[in-house]
Structure 1
């Protein structure tokens, strides 16, 4: 089967990141290229992010930071620019994309996060008779349902069944949507030996922001402390709201928990892998409906016990009491109860963790993800050829 020329569109691209979405798309672009496909990435150059792009960093030649976003992220959340500025950016992006399409002539497009790019950029690609597979990892695809492309060459790939069902309920054309779980890099995160389980060694590894619920975890840890349950915990991750992080740190200090709860800040992947060797529980306490957590699968592969809130798509990765634990969102008492139940039944704790790791290895690996994603891209490219014959 002939290899494809694949255009990848993403609003952000590492090292300029806000979360896991852009990291996943970057991984897919790299892995598709490793499979022999020719890949061109079009993205923005957004240097003012907290994890900002440094000029000294060398990008692959296939990454072009030539698009402009018509908004930014602040402590108040996503903020679009004023309308006249948005219009001028849209015109500039149209001309830039036109040049790239004429030069690269892709067979298919893999779209990622289109926040502050909008559906116009997708419509332009479709108008050039290039099919689009849009991998949706947020509750919305970056535009309202009335602006959704209606082409038969446009297909949603969703990160969870929850996202797929949510899109349909909102009125997006998701009848042909296919769920492909993001999977983890098994080779990078796998640990053959399970972490030590002498006590609860808990890690939180995500954005340290209110909607992610780290405060729920810290409240649960406070309850464990008062109940005399032995534990240590690490809070790892960057933040767009430093005042929130400061409030958490002040609470920890006021309750005398600074010896038990450590704030590690933003960690690199190698640092995260090292952290997983010394921790045995990974908690996702999201209060918002998390589409699906890639970090959850990475921790599962590493042999950590997964404890997640019951919101969004992440619970699809585990079965309660079989391959992990699920607690009621925004309920620190329920979270504390689930955490404290683990050391009481050490044999069950170990069995649950091993089953979780086995499921991640067999069903949620990055190889499985790439096989399914590559199949969809081939299918769309073939469908387009038949239409244009």
Structure 2
């Protein structure tokens, strides 16, 4: 089977969707399928085309073209995408819904139109506020994959045409290539992993670190990731007197994430937005690390309260600090939570099942009749 993925941004930018698309494409290639990834060029020094573990990456300047409002540039870009499609000859499109790239899919998926599988990885409100192009995509998709139950139940309520083609599939991650190591205690290390963006709430984690009881004043924090908030977070560290206790590591390739998690005692997910899933919780679990996470979005479907981690209200550094301290005060419980998290991750979010469900749904979608459009290009 030949699958053309549509992803708003892709590696080397690191985020949950980028990791999911990368790992899924790699797994499909290993199974003998062909994959290509069409994405926006988010940095000018990235090549138009390159290979990524056997999958083609095609980068286009769609956002810049839209901003130019130049119909000639848009026509040229559409022809470029049509050429990519003709050369790759996909059996279907797999669209990861997140932004304006949906308009380009609809402008170019013509004569003949191919079936579209859509994965929803954004909060329900964001999906429903996506405008006419997003609603049209949902209505015309052969099959829709929801990362959590909020999306699974909320989309058909708002868009009745999607009833009967929604499927729940929580995210998954590849099994790590290194074993988990013992939890470090000299000193204990808290890990914040992800994009340094306001919605991730890493500022809340810094405030929580400053609020830990005196007997945990030696606890360190490692922040792994890059983003626009780094300067603000570093400034906040200095204001809180935490400069000697917080290390900003910068971004790492996805295959180095397990090694980062191995250096931690406890993983934090202090998000203030409605995380559709919270892939960091799984990345922690497969390395036998418990998490303290915000009770938002799909996170409670991943973290079993009191079993694999603790859930706290977002924007509440006092509650976050209390939860962290309660686990650090009980090393036996913390270790047991990490082991439980690993077992639950394998049972509920195993990658083999995740891959096989995609293949099943690709086969079903390929047999579906896509909507017919008249080409205007």
TM-score with structure 1 setting the length: 0.83
> Which residue is equivalent to 1:309?
294
Give the corresponding residue for 1:236.
224
Please state how far the C-alpha of 1:59 moved relative to its aligned partner: 5.1
- Stretches of structure 1 that go unaligned for 5 or more consecutive residues are 73-79
Deviations 1:87-134 (A, max 9, x none): 545433432333333444322221224523224514643762421111
Q: Which residue of 2 aligns with 1:208?
A: 196
Residue in structure 2 matched with residue 67 of structure 1 by the alignment = 60
Residue 26 of structure 1 corresponds to 22
**Structure 2: how far apart are the matches of 1:94 and 1:358?**
47
User: Over aligned residue pairs, what C-alpha RMSD do you find?
Assistant: 3.0
In 2: Cα distance, 1:275 partner to 1:364 partner: 21
Number of equivalent positions: 366
| Counterpart residue number, 1:35 | 31
Equivalent residue for 1:95?
79
Return the alpha-carbon distance in structure 2 between the equivalents of residues 172 and 121 of structure 1.
22
- After superposing the two structures, state which structure 1 stretch, 201-210 or 375-384, moved more: 375-384
Residue 237 of structure 1, CA deviation: 0.9
Q: Distance in 1 between matches of 2:109 and 2:155?
A: 22
SS in structure 1 of the partner of residue 137 of structure 2: coil
Is the contact made by 2:139 and 2:159 (CA closer than 8 Å) also made in structure 1? no
Aligned counterpart in structure 1 of residue 170 of structure 2, from 164, 172, 181: 181
Return the offset for 1:62. Answer: 4.5
Report the alpha carbon displacement of residue 169 of structure 1 after superposing the two structures with TM.
5.1
Summarize deviations over 1:142-190 as a string: whole Å, max 9, x none: 94256423656532212222333343455474422212122111133x6
Q: Describe the shift of the 1:197–1:321 C-alpha distance in structure 2 as closer, same or farther (beyond 3 A).
A: farther
Q: Does structure 1 residue 6 correspond to structure 2 residue 11?
A: no
User: Which sections of structure 2, spanning at least 5 residues, go unmatched?
Assistant: 373-377
Residue pair 2:26, 2:54 contacting (<8 A) in 1 also: no
Q: Secondary structure at the match of 1:46?
A: coil
Counterpart mapping for 1:104-119 below 5 A = 104-113=88-97, 115-119=99-103
Quote the Cα distance in structure 1 between the aligned partners of 2:185 and 2:361: 41
Is the CA contact (8 Å cut-off) linking 1:201 and 1:279 kept in structure 2?
A: yes
> Which whole-Å deviations, capped at 9, do the CAs of 1:46-91 have from their partners, x for residues lacking one?
324xxx636997656742525332259xxxxxxx625x24x54543
2:330 is aligned, of 320, 323, 345, to 345
Distance 1:57 1:64 in 2: 5
**Contact preservation (8 Å) 1:126, 1:132:** no
Q: Distance in 2 between matches of 1:312 and 1:256?
A: 32
Cα drift, residue 13 of structure 1 = 2.6
How far did 1:343 drift? 2.7
Partner of 1:128: 112
Describe how 1:285-296 pairs up with structure 2 within 5 A: 285-296=270-281
Corresponding residue for 1:334? 319
Q: 1:339 to 1:174 in 2, by over 3 A?
A: farther
**CA distances 1:199-243 after superposition (whole Å, capped 9, x unpaired):** 64200011112111001000110000556554111111101x2xx
Structure 1: how far apart are the matches of 2:88 and 2:48? Answer: 25
Q: Tell me, yes or no, if the aligned pair for 2:289 and 2:335 is still in contact at 8 Å.
A: no
CA distance in 1, matches of 2:58, 2:50: 13
Tell me by how many angstroms 1:271 deviates.
Answer: 4.1
Aligned-residue offset at 1:338: 0.7
